Amino acid sequence: MLGFLRIFPLPHEWWPPQKTKTIRLDMSTRTHLKRTPPVSHAVTPLVLEATFLVTLNALLLVMTVLRESELFWRNKGGYPIPFRAFVLNYYAPLFLLMALANVLFSVLGFQRVRKLGLLLVIFFVFASGIWFLFGSTVAIMVANNVINLLENRPMHWH
């Protein structure tokens, strides 16, 4: 209401620094920081996206451990046949989808963080967690295939 009396920026306007603009107040020209929404409004979508990707990457990691296990494919393992069919049919599409989603989150998320001026630490914590889970998935797959090749079995042998 009494915005024309305000000369100094409020604490939430100090960071991130914004471009200044000139406004006309009381016949004099004053330069001040543009009012920005609180940082929490910009961080919330990033947190939700990262949580969703962490959950899907964890599901992919569990599917990888099961898929690369010999007992999972045998009837003695105790796993139901529909569950084995689910892992068999949906593992490769989920793997490719997660690879694409991780790349998009990393590239577009970094651009959004730079544009909004958010703390890069928050983004790097989420991105490193997502890539750690995906890297673990790839490492388990590669390790199992190397073991199969060293024991003169075909790749993806179960």
pLDDT tens-digit map of 7-29: 555 555 555 555 555 544 444 45
H or E element that contains 25: strand 20-25
pLDDT tens-digit map of 73-95: 887 767 888 999 999 999 999 99
pLDDT at residue 127 above 50? yes
User: Tokens for 40?
Assistant: 């929490």
What is the pTM for the complete model shown? Answer: 0.68
Mean pLDDT of 43-48: 77
Mean pLDDT of 107-124: 78
At residue 38, the pLDDT reads: 55
Rounded to an integer, what distance in angstroms lies between the CA atom of residue 121 and that of residue 119? Answer: 5
Work out the widest C-alpha separation in the chain, in whole angstroms: 86
pLDDT at residue 33 above 50? no
> Per residue in 68-92, is it b (16+ CB within 10 Å) or e — as a string?
beeebbeeeeebeeeebeebeeebe
Rounded to an integer, what distance in angstroms lies between the CA atom of residue 21 and that of residue 34? Answer: 7
Mean pLDDT of 132-139: 96
Question: Tokens 């940082």 identify what position?
Answer: 39
Q: Pick the residue with more confidence: 89 or 38?
A: 89
Check the CA dihedral 51-55-58-64 and report its sign.
negative
Mean pLDDT of 140-157: 86
Mean pLDDT of 93-122: 85
Mean pLDDT of 26-37: 50
Rounded to an integer, what distance in angstroms lies between the CA atom of residue 36 and that of residue 73? Answer: 55
User: Tokens for 71?
Assistant: 């007992």
At residue 89, the pLDDT reads: 93
